[in-house]
């Protein structure tokens, strides 16, 4: 145990320096959101276009904000909830949600990754349920005409 502790402290000093106040789990346990199709293409320019992060990430596998990692693979987050929500069953319009990236699959669209910082900072946005709040609080309306 003594050797493991010493080795762990030495590893942290190599990563962050001698000032313990600069050691941050979120920096070690960061999350990178990789595009499922092209995010691991092996071509830097394509990966840089489609992937987002790393984002400092807290959490651990046995808590509400569950995130995981593998000792063998390093400290980067290798599993996490892609969506979190808080539902107020007494008033559904008080509910909140967030997910890891954004609502668009187009890399240059403003909604491609506009939720990433919310997710990383454990923040939420309203989850509208009632028709009136959906209409009144929407950003835009899409009308499909045959």
Give, in degrees to the nearest 5, the angle at Cα 31 between 28 and 36.
Answer: 145
% of the chain exceeding 90 in pLDDT: 52
Residue 6 forms part of a structural domain:
no
Read off the pLDDT of each residue in 70-96 and give the average, rounded to a whole number.
90
- Domain with 94 in it: 25-136
Q: How confident is the model at residue 19, as a pLDDT? A: 94
The total of structural domains in the chain comes to 1
Which has the higher per-residue pLDDT, 118 or 73?
Answer: 118
Inform me whether the pLDDT recorded for 74 exceeds 90: no
> What is the C-alpha separation between 103 and 86, in angstroms, rounded?
19
pLDDT for the residue numbered 112:
93
For residue 54, whether the previous peptide bond is cis, meaning omega lies within 30 degrees of 0, is yes
Give per-residue pLDDT as tens, 118-131: 998 889 999 989 99
**Is there a domain that residue 4 lies in?**
no
Domain presence at residue 105: yes
Has residue 88 been placed in a domain? Answer: yes
Q: Among residues 90, 67, 69, 87, which one has the least CA distance to residue 128?
A: 87
The confidence score (pLDDT) of residue 26 equals 84
Could you report the per-residue pLDDT of 23-37, keeping only the tens digit for each?
988 888 899 999 988
Higher pLDDT, 95 or 58: 95
Domain membership flag for residue 112: yes
- Residue 13 falls inside a structural domain: no
Short-list 121, 80, 77, 123, CA closest to 98? 123
Inside any domain, residue 19: no
**Bigger pLDDT: 90 vs 37:** 90
Cβ proximity of 39 and 50 under 8 Å: yes
Report residue 10 as tokens. 């030495």
* Cα separation values, 3 from 8, 24, 72, 86, Å: 8, 22, 18, 43
- Distances from the Cα of 74 to the Cα of 22, 99, 102, 138, angstroms: 19, 24, 27, 41
- Residue 8 domain-assigned? no
């Amino acid at each position: 145990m003594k050797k493991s502790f010493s080795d762990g402290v030495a590893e942290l000093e190599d990563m962050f320096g001698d000032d313990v106040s600069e050691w941050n789990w979120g920096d070690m346990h960061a999350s990178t959101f990789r595009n499922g199709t092209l995010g691991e293409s092996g071509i830097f320019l394509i990966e840089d276009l489609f992937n987002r992060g790393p984002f400092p990430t807290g959490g651990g596998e046995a808590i509400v904000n569950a995130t995981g990692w593998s000792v063998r693979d390093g400290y980067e987050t290798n599993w996490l909830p892609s969506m979190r929500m808080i539902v107020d069953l007494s008033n559904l319009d008080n509910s909140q949600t967030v997910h890891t990236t954004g609502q668009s699959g187009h890399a240059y669209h403003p909604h491609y990754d506009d939720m990433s910082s919310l997710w990383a900072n454990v923040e939420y946005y309203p989850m509208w349920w009632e028709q009136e709040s959906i209409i009144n609080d929407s950003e835009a309306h899409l009308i499909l005409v045959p």
